[in-house]
Structure 1
Amino acid sequence: MTTIYQYIKRMENNDFTTLPLNEVDVLILNELVYFPLDEYINSDLNHQSGIKLNDLYFLLENTLKEMKKENWVLVSEARIRLLKAISQAKRYQEVIIFGFVNQIKVEEELQFAAMCLGLPTNELLVSYRGTDDTLTGWKEDCNLIYNRLVPAQRLAKNYLTAVYHAFRGVSLTISGHSKGGNLAIYAAAFQDEETQNSIRNVYSFDSPGFHLETIETVSYQNIQPKISHYVPEDSIVGMTLFHSQAPIVVKSRKKGFSQHIATNWQIADKQLERLDDRSDFSYLIDAAVKEWTIDRNDEELKKIFNSCFDLLYETGAESLIEITSNPIKFSRLFLERLNLLELADREFLEHNLTNLGDVIKSHLVEQKRDRYHMMAFQFNDWLSNFQLSEHLTFESTLLNKFKERFIQKKEA
């Protein structure tokens, strides 16, 4: 069991001919799309206008501390350490970054960033950024829950199309973390057959899924065998909406939501370290959120999220950094704006948000009850030395009860 930094050190002298690009490399290189590279790399799909990785760190070195101070969400200490490590590793030094694009449009509720990484082996990695620190980015994430298409997905598709036409004959690998993984899958899924044939793999790292209508399209099904969806044990984001395959569960050095940070994931040899299953915590939150979502139609969900983000914007905040820099002041402003809502609107919002907490609590109680029942069943099994009957196994716990409830609702 090693960290990604130890993996880089261990593999630093293996070029991509000796050791082909693997899932760990993709995870590492994908983290670079989070750096604000607008001033250093242009959007031209021309690798000659790009920057080699052994030069990138030295180009940014004197500004990294300031970048971190201005935006610790994107430029974290872990990502700075990662950038320095790969800039010193022979394996990555000849990789070229180019075609960097970054767009944020508040009025369109759009947050999108992507870039290309050219390998010496005539391979191309197309990486999509996940959510940044802007409220616009987080709003677009929420829009995924009730919209079948968001602006970033459209741009992701168009970006990949342009990359393919600029580099015909090159083997493509597509990747993304968090919302970026959703964009990677969407972009690959809605290409023509020729472009899809050029795609070797699509990597989704703890990324939200899609509505069932999207998954069931022929184009999505064509790319589905090439998709690898990874989630940490305590995954929340990666279980949002629906996925076309069971996730690959990986081990993290952290617990809870910190597992969403990819630099915390563990490595076993040349792949991410596997676990047998997700945690009870992940199953509980997944089941509760899906139940809460299913009980509301798209218009109700849209009203809930629009109301929440309108209140956030009315405080004057535009990013998570602004909110967390002075949480007391923000909380006061938020409550003031909440109290100014029309009574019916405030009651609607409070009712739905309170109900989400109630649903989570009810699932927590049921999960604990299931666990205690299972402990009793296992103890009885140990005493009497016989196998539990099928209806008393783990298969009848909270998750499957929820699945049955969901199926009944969909059929109704």
Structure 2
Amino acid sequence: MAELTNWQGLDVRELLRAECYQDMIGDLWDPEGSRALLEAVAASPRYRGVRVCGYRSVSDAETTEQFAAMTFRFPAGFSYLAFRGTDSTIVGWKEDFNMAFRCPVPAQESAARYVDEAADAIDGPLLCGGHSKGGNLAVYGAAMCPDVARERIERAYSHDGPGFVEEFLSGNAFADLSGRIDKTLPRSSIFGMMFETQEDYAIVESTEFSLLQHNPFSWVVDGRDFVYCERLSAGARYVDGSIREMLLAVSPNERERFVDALFSVLEATGAERFADIAGNLRESLPVMLQAAQGFDKDTRRFVSQTIVAILKCALLPKRPQIDMPAAGKSLAEQLEAWQSELLR
């Protein structure tokens, strides 16, 4: 809808147009859940009169950028700048991993420009927020926008968003914003614990398991707040430790080489989405093995440990109430055999 790109925008209730649903939610991870959320928001007195505006979107495989944001203007006078997270494509994942050695990535630069543009266009207090990569962009954009805009930002919300490189975390811009950051993670967070993280965070219960907890529709709410727990799951700590330890033990140039190698292996499968690889392991594993054969041993170790850690967490959840399929053990053995073969 062209009306969403200007700063006057549309009343949220005007988004309830059946002919627009496919464009708005058709490519999302949970289209039905997103439609139900839109309808609930439009019907709620709490959000009555909210205007949706300032929509911007960039998707560029050549520059490895995926960026989108929009603003919600509330009748009370404040505005919420919302940043979209990563989709399930390999391009989207690569931009996330690029954050391990590069700051800013193109989407982060776009986020800072967006906050500046919004601050020029609208009055009143500002809130920034997002889920997954969107949480990272919300924090970066709020920290790196011009001082006059940053002074108007009351809070920046990162919902299971990945962290930052040390250079950004030790800078003055982050220090100025740090007391205004709210970070939430699900109990089995993988994405939100990637890379360096100095933000304080709260851990939220989820009705899902493993990587599926990344879906915020699974986060448990009681009344007006989340239901919190004390610590991350063992699986989340394992994957976080595996990836972070390998990346932070080497120089930024080495991190870049590792990440490029990892994604050359993933892209060799021909899959556009990580879920396509996970759903077709019997064909994907031999292709990835062949693609990684020319790398040195340290690179093969990073590639194999990263892929195996994520696949184990995604495909071998361990929750007492879940009846594990009989194939679970053989799948674990397949992954271990693949890793052993790659490291020979």
What TM-score do you get using the length of structure 2 for normalisation? 0.80
CA apart distance, 1:162:
0.8
CA apart distance, 1:315:
4.6
- Counterparts of 1:8-407 in structure 2, within 5 Å, are 39=1, 41-44=3-6, 46-47=7-8, 50-56=9-15, 58-59=16-17, 61-62=18-19, 64=21, 71-73=27-29, 75-167=30-122, 169-320=123-274, 323=276, 327-328=279-280, 332=283, 335-336=286-287, 339=290, 343-345=293-295, 349-356=299-306
> Aligned to 1:231, what secondary structure does the other structure show?
strand
* Distance in 2 between residues matched to 1:194 and 1:213, nearest whole Å: 23
* Distance in 2 between residues matched to 1:327 and 1:85, nearest whole Å: 33
Counterparts in 2 of 1:264 and 1:151: CA distance versus 1, 3 Å: same
Tell me the residue number matched to 1:34.
Answer: none
Q: 1:123-155 CA deviation, whole Å, 9 max, x = no partner?
A: 110000000133221110110112121000000
Greater RCO, 1 or 2 (C-alpha within 8 Å, sep 6+): 1
Letter in 2 for 1:93: R
* Distance in 2 between residues matched to 1:197 and 1:240, nearest whole Å: 28
Structure 2: stretches of 5+ with no match in the other structure: 311-344
Counterparts in 2 of 1:165 and 1:139: CA distance versus 1, 3 Å: same
Counterparts in 2 of 1:314 and 1:214: CA distance versus 1, 3 Å: same
CA apart distance, 1:267:
1.6
CA apart distance, 1:336:
4.2
> Aligned to 1:290, what secondary structure does the other structure show?
helix
Structure possessing the higher radius of gyration over alpha carbons: 1
Q: 1:101-123 CA deviation, whole Å, 9 max, x = no partner?
A: 11111110100000001111111
Structure 1: stretches of 5+ with no match in the other structure: 1-38, 361-412
Letter in 2 for 1:277: R
Q: 1:254-284 CA deviation, whole Å, 9 max, x = no partner?
A: 2211111111111222222222232233233
Letter in 2 for 1:229: K
Q: How many residues align?
A: 310
Between the two proteins, what is the percent identity of the paired residues?
Answer: 26
> Aligned to 1:339, what secondary structure does the other structure show?
helix
Q: 1:41-76 CA deviation, whole Å, 9 max, x = no partner?
A: 4432x22xx2212121x21x34546876x5252x53
8 Å CA contact 2:242, 2:305 repeated in 1: no
Greater per-residue helix proportion: 1
* Distance in 2 between residues matched to 1:53 and 1:295, nearest whole Å: 47
Deviates more, 1:215-224 or 1:83-92: 83-92
Q: 1:4-32 CA deviation, whole Å, 9 max, x = no partner?
A: xxxxxxxxxxxxxxxxxxxxxxxxxxxxx
* Distance in 1 between residues matched to 2:56 and 2:211, nearest whole Å: 28
CA apart distance, 1:177:
0.6
> Aligned to 1:345, what secondary structure does the other structure show?
coil
Give RMSD over aligned pairs: 2.8
CA apart distance, 1:82:
1.1
